[in-house]
Structures are given as structure tokens and as C-alpha cells.
């Protein structure tokens, strides 16, 4: 049985919504409230699985109720319903964390589909084992001061929807930081869509990000969903954003400002609820001075900056990283993990790691493959590391 709370000051509308819901599923238990204050007391004292909430109400309006719920009862999905609806209110509701927004008079099929989707989503939120496993898989290895600072920042920023700009050299682990932020956030069940801006040709990146409609250009033989649309309700990670064209930058800026996009070739706006995390190995302030990056986009993205250090800056973490990679590589190959001598680790700590953690991982894999003994020595490092 699902407990559904209807918050609506007009009795006639509550009666209609209750009738429609019970006809859909007679196991629904409908709880009614005529204002926001009463609704909050009901939620505090009762198990509630879903809330249908009006916007305009006495004492506390729907937005105030939604803010309270997201803060203290974020596991309860909320569908906002309003006869005073406009695009701005809809965007605000979705930004705050509403599951859906429906204008009055509601389309009953859409309402029932939304109710079914919200209840299914709530059930899914209870299944966290796979998410916890992913969080562990993307754990940032290290106990250096630099890594502790990053983990502290991740913990703080994950509780918000703030945009994050991750800076650091190639191979340092910027994507791990982005994954940790997503998996520790309230969006952890939603999609995490990664886009390598450097790997997509400039003439195709707008289509990749925002999609296109059939006939928009010569090879557009059918409609295509873009990455922003695919990330709706979750997070989009724009890796190497410093390589994005100025044209695409302007459209990303619009998506950040207005929470809406347009597919290439279309004039129809699509509302998206997406958290944006960006990363680059470039100095964007220098790129701005060279007119290769928009200053207004930089300030939109850099609400929170996280600087990921190079491996040379945190060489004290190399023993932990080596141990992690030895176990991981053994697990991937179904073998017993090899050991490594202390002098071999000290040798690794003296190298110049231009490729950072990614390079270290490759070196350890090479050592595991080429070292015949079960224990990797300093001589093996000299012989097989390639350094």
C-alpha cells in the first residue's frame, strides 16, 4: 500500500484527485491536507510515499513546502500541481528537486504516469547496494593532505546542486572526483553522462550535447537525443571543456542560465534538470585572455573549484596507489596479487610522473605482467618500468 498525500486548499480538487487515484489503484491510501502548515505536520507524523502539492496555498505555499521536504524528507517524491503555472515556476520547482510539475487542469493520463513513475523511483531509491559499490569503485586513493582536502570538498559540495569546475593535469583523476560528487549526491540514482569535449569534432559537438531533429543537416536521418537531455535528473560531466568551441560554449551557457536546451534544427525549448560538472587541464583564465573561452561561462561553471594535484605533488600516496593497483590487476586477471619490496616503492616515488596516476597504473600493470617472481623488486623497477 502506498500513502499519497494531496496538499490542496480547494476541497473539490482534492476530491477529484482522490477519485482518480483510487480508480487507478484501490490500494492507494489517500491523505488530504488543505494547507502547507498542516501538510508538514502530517509528513512529520506519518509515513508518506508520494506528495501531490499545489503551489498557491494559504499560510505556506507549495514552494515553501517543497524546500522543507527536500531538506528533511528528500526521499519522498513530490509532484507540483498549479493553475498559476508558468515556465519560471516549473523550472524553479524542478531545480529545487520536485519529481515533476503539472499544470491545472491536469491531463489525467500524464498525472497517473507521473504518479506511477514517482512511486517506482521511490522504490528504487531503497536499493542502494549497487550504488554503494560504485562509490567504493570510484574511491580516491590517498591519505595526503591534498587528497584529504579534496575529499572534504567533495563531501560539502555533494550535498548541493552547485556547479563544479575540476582543474588538474591529465591522468590525475579528475573523472574520479566528478563520479564521487555524483554518487554522493541526491542525484545518485540518476544518470551520470560523461562527455569528452576534446574527442568530439567541433562541427558535431552541438549535436552531441543537445541532440538534433531529422533533417537538421545532411547526415541527420532521424531524431537524436543529446547528452544534456539524456542526463536529465542526473549529472553531466563535461571533461576537457577548455577544448569546446565558442559556438557550443554559448549554448551551454544558455542551458546553465535558463535550464533549457534546443535540439539542432529545432526551435522548441526542452526543460532539463541537470547538474553540470566540468573539468579541464587548461588554464581557463589564460584561455579567456586569448578569446578562446567565454568569461561568462567560466564564472557560471566555477561556483566551486577543485584543484586535483599531480602525482608528483602527492608522492606520499604512491605506496597506497601501488597496493590498490596490484590488488585490482590481480582481481581483473583472477590471480593472486603480487607483492612489492619497500625499496622498489621508494624507487617509484623518485620518478617524475608526467602521466600522473594513469601512468603509474600502466607501469604497475607492466611490472605484474613482466616480473616472473611473485615479489617485485627494485631491480624489476629499473628493468621493466620504462622510466
Q: What span, in angstroms and rounded, lies between the C-alpha atoms of 86 and 103? A: 8
Per-residue model confidence as pLDDT tens digits over 343-354: 999 999 999 999
Q: What is the CA radius of gyration of the chain?
A: 25
- The percent of residues above 90 in pLDDT, for the chain, comes to 55
Beta strands per DSSP E along 206-303: 235-239, 260-261, 270-271, 275-280
> Which whole number is the average pLDDT over 238-244?
94
pLDDT at 132: 41
Q: Is the pLDDT of residue 192 over 50?
A: yes
Calculate the average pLDDT of the chain. 89
Backbone angles phi, psi at 282, to 5 degrees: -95, 160
Cis bond leading into 363, ω under 30°?
no
In DSSP terms, 386 is beta-bridged to: none
CB 362 within 8 A of CB 355: yes
**Domains, the chain, ranges and CATH?**
3-125 (3.40.50.2300), 143-307 (3.40.50.300), 312-384 (1.10.8.60)
pLDDT of 134 strictly over 70? no
User: Which pLDDT score, from 0 to 100, does residue 151 have?
Assistant: 94
Predicted confidence band of residue 251 (pLDDT cuts 50, 70, 90): confident
For 11, how many CA atoms within 13 A lie in the half-sphere containing its CB? 0
- Confidence band for 74, pLDDT divided at 50, 70 and 90: confident
- Start-to-end C-alpha separation, the chain: 64
Under DSSP, the state recorded for 338 is: P
**Interhelix angle for 129-137 vs 174-183, to 10°?**
160
- What does pTM read for this prediction? 0.66
User: Is a pLDDT exceeding 60 seen at residue 313?
Assistant: yes
pLDDT in tens, 289-304: 999 999 999 999 999 9
Parallel, antiparallel, or unpaired for β 275-280 and 235-239?
parallel
* Low-confidence winner among 64-73, 132-141, 291-300, 353-362 (lowest mean pLDDT): 132-141
Contacts 24+ apart (CB under 8 A), 138-142: 138/176, 138/179, 138/180, 138/183, 139/176, 139/180, 140/173, 140/176, 140/177, 140/180, 141/317, 141/320, 141/321, 141/324, 142/314, 142/317, 142/320, 142/321
Residue-wise pLDDT tens digits, 1-26: 789 999 998 898 899 999 999 988 88
User: Edge-to-edge strand order for the sheet containing 304-307?
Assistant: 192-196, 235-239, 275-280, 164-167, 304-307
Amino acid at each position: 500500500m502506498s500513502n499519497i498525500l494531496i496538499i490542496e486548499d480547494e476541497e473539490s480538487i482534492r476530491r477529484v484527485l482522490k477519485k482518480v487515484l483510487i480508480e487507478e489503484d484501490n490500494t492507494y491510501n489517500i491523505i488530504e491536507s488543505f494547507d502547507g502548515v498542516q501538510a508538514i505536520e502530517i509528513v512529520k507524523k506519518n509515513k508518506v510515499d508520494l506528495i501531490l502539492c499545489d503551489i498557491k496555498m494559504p499560510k505556506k505555499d507549495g514552494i515553501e513546502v517543497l524546500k522543507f521536504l527536500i531538506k528533511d524528507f528528500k526521499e519522498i517524491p513530490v509532484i507540483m500541481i498549479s493553475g498559476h503555472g508558468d515556465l519560471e515556476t516549473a523550472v524553479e520547482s524542478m531545480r529545487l528537486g520536485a519529481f515533476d510539475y503539472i499544470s491545472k487542469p491536469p491531463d489525467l493520463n500524464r498525472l497517473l504516469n507521473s504518479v506511477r513513475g514517482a512511486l517506482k523511483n521511490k522504490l528504487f531509491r531503497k536499493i542502494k547496494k549497487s550504488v554503494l559499490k560504485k562509490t567504493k569503485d570510484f574511491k580516491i586513493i590517498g591519505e595526503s593532505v591534498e587528497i584529504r582536502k579534496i575529499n572534504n570538498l567533495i563531501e560539502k559540495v555533494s550535498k548541493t546542486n552547485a556547479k563544479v569546475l575540476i582543474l588538474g593535469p591529465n591522468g590525475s583523476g579528475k573523472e574520479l572526483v566528478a563520479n564521487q560528487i555524483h554518487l554522493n549526491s541526491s542525484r545518485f540514482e540518476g544518470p551520470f553522462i560523461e562527455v569528452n569535449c576534446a574527442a568530439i569534432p567541433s562541427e558535431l559537438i552541438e549535436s552531441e550535447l543537445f541532440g538534433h531533429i531529422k533533417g537538421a543537416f545532411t547526415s541527420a536521418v532521424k531524431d537524436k537525443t543529446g547528452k544534456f537531455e539524456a542526463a536529465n535528473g542526473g549529472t553531466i560531466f563535461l571533461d576537457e571543456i577548455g577544448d569546446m568551441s565558442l559556438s557550443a560554449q554559448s549554448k551551454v551557457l544558455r542551458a546553465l542560465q535558463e535550464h533549457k536546451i534546443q535540439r539542432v534544427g529545432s526551435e522548441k525549448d526542452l526543460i532539463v534538470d541537470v547538474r553540470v560538472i566540468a573539468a579541464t587541464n587548461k588554464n581557463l583564465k589564460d584561455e579567456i585572455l586569448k578569446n578562446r573561452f567565454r568569461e561568462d561561462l567560466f564564472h557560471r561553471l566555477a561556483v566551486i573549484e577543485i584543484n586535483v594535484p599531480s602525482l608528483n605533488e602527492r608522492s606520499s600516496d604512491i605506496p597506497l596507489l601501488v597496493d590498490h593497483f596490484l590488488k585490482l590487476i590481480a582481481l581483473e586477471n583472477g590471480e593472486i596479487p603480487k607483492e612489492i619490496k619497500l625499496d622498489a616503492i621508494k624507487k617509484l616515488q623518485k620518478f617524475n610522473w608526467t602521466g600522473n596516476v594513469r601512468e603509474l597504473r600502466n607501469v604497475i600493470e607492466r611490472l605484474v605482467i613482466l616480473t616472473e617472481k611473485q615479489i617485485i623488486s627494485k631491480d624489476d623497477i629499473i628493468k621493466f618500468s620504462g622510466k
